[in-house]
């Protein structure tokens, strides 16, 4: 049975060129980047090159790039570190209600520790309400966290407007760009954000490495201490091989972006059209206009999303019930609830995310499998 992978927002396969770029750093160039001898110098050179390349590709300075263990750590650090380091300005901070759990759970932890948390508004298309934000900001609001693109419904947020509004209030803006970097061309300087997170495994790089961009001059307290790595802000022996892989993957993503996005969107659109034509109980969630090109997120009214996923898996179609990070939980997705779906509709939803390897005929086969599985589960 042919398998069709439609879960690229959960993770992507490592590209062959990335593996080749990483290969020497698993074995020959194994030194600790902090060692003063020749082995260490070779390692630190590779680490610096990776940092330079990544900085260049997102419009940052090399000393504004901090390597982390992934998107989760970068998100934790930005929120916790940004809020706690700026408590002399105030105790209030805001997050959007559709953030990844890495942001939401950190925000809740800060709230339990006495910080004043409030949520941005979001409309039924999954776009945050910037007019409301203007009124919600307080004199003592230190930080606003609003993701660049949502991992469940794929909506792209008006971060430029968020920055404009927050600048006037001297409030920091952090954006989780884990689903955006690699498929949207991002220039942090033009965007004007203070912090931005991303993760290599979302753009055909290795798992276990991410970055936090921190604009020079922004105060952020460390969350991992115990070493002078990453300019004394994030302790731990540097993972040179993963940094090399991340830089190579981002370089390739940027080179291929226009072509890959065109193909992915075309294939995704064929899938969406076929599903909507074949099922009268299928509804596409999230904005059609402001949306990642690889995302199709449906509610299939009256059908258990989980049962549908199992049924599709039996047919070789691999999708997700929202975010890989929360699949397996019984609670309906907080994102779908925030955009106004009922608990039962939220539990009847499935995310399909596309990548470069998916062909148009795969998309049609997958759509047919969705249609027959939904009909089967409805007993028709």
Query: Interface with ligand PLP by CB under 6 A: which residues?
Result: 70-72, 75, 100, 102, 147, 151, 176, 178-179, 199, 210, 323-325
**Nearest in space to 142 (alpha carbons), one of 119, 166, 110:** 166
Structure tokens that stand for 240 in this block: 């040179």
Shorter beta-carbon distance to ligand PLP: residue 270 or 292: 292
Kindly write down the DSSP assignment for every residue of 220-261, as one continuous string.
---SB-SS-HHHHTB-S---HHHHHHHHHHHHHHHHHHHHHH
Known catalytic residue at 325:
yes
DSSP 30: -
CB of 32 closer than 8 Å to CB of 346: no
Shorter beta-carbon distance to ligand PLP: residue 151 or 285: 151
SS3 97: coil
CB of 294 closer than 8 Å to CB of 353: yes
User: HSE on the CB side for 353, CA within 13 Å?
Assistant: 24
Shorter beta-carbon distance to ligand PLP: residue 157 or 274: 157
We find the least distance from the C-beta atom of residue 331 to ligand PLP, in angstroms, to be 17
Q: What are phi and psi of 145, to 5 degrees?
A: -110, 120
DSSP 12: -
Neighbours of 358 (CB within 10 A): 22
The whole-angstrom separation of Cα 33 and Cα 52 is: 15
- Alpha-helical (H) ranges within the chain are 16-22, 38-58, 71-85, 101-112, 130-136, 159-167, 188-191, 229-232, 240-278, 305-314, 334-338, 343-346, 360-377
Nearest residue to ligand PLP by CB is 71
The whole-angstrom separation of Cα 250 and Cα 371 is: 36
**Spatial CB neighbours of 10, under 8 Å, sequence gap ≥ 6:** 320, 323, 324, 353
The whole-angstrom separation of Cα 262 and Cα 22 is: 28
Shorter beta-carbon distance to ligand PLP: residue 223 or 282: 223
Q: What are phi and psi of 260, to 5 degrees?
A: -60, -45
The whole-angstrom separation of Cα 149 and Cα 161 is: 14
Active site residues: 325
């Amino acid at each position: 049975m042919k398998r069709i992978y439609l879960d690229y927002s959960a993770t992507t396969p490592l590209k062959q060129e990335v593996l080749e770029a990483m290969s020497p750093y698993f074995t020959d160039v194994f030194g600790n980047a902090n060692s003063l001898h020749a082995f260490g110098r070779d390692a630190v050179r590779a680490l610096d090159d990776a940092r330079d390349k990544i900085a260049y590709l997102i419009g940052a300075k090399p000393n504004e790039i901090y390597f982390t263990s992934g998107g989760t750590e970068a998100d934790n650090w930005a929120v916790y570190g940004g809020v706690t380091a700026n408590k002399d300005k105030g105790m209030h901070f805001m997050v959007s209600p559709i953030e990844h759990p890495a942001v939401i759970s950190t925000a809740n932890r800060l709230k339990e520790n006495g910080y004043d948390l409030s949520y941005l508004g979001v409309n039924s298309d999954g776009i945050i309400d910037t007019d409301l934000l203007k009124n919600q900001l307080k004199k003592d609001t230190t930080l606003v966290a609003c993701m660049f693109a949502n991992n469940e419904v794929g909506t792209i947020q008006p971060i430029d407007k968020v920055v404009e509004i927050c600048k006037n209030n001297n409030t920091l803006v952090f954006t989780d760009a884990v689903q955006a970097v690699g498929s949207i061309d991002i220039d942090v300087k033009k965007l004007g954000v203070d912090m931005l997170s991303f993760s290599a495994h979302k753009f055909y790089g290795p798992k276990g490495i991410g970055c936090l961009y921190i604009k020079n001059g922004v105060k952020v307290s460390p969350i991992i201490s115990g070493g002078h790595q990453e300019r004394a802000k994030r302790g731990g022996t540097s993972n040179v091989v993963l940094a090399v892989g991340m830089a190579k993957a981002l370089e390739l993503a940027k080179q291929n972006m226009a072509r890959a996005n065109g193909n992915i969107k075309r294939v995704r659109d064929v899938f969406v059209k076929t599903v909507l034509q074949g099922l009268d109980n299928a509804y596409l969630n999230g904005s059609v206009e402001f949306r990642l090109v690889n995302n199709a997120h449906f509610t299939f009214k009256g059908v258990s999303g989980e049962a549908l996923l199992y049924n599709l898996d039996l047919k070789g179609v691999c999708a997700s019930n929202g975010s890989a990070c929360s699949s397996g939980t019984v609670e309906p997705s907080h994102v779908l609830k925030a955009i106004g779906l009922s608990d039962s509709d939220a539990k009847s939803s499935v995310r399909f995310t596309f990548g470069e390897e998916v062909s148009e005929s795969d998309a049609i086969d997958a759509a047919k499998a969705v249609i027959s599985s939904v009909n089967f589960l409805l007993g028709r």
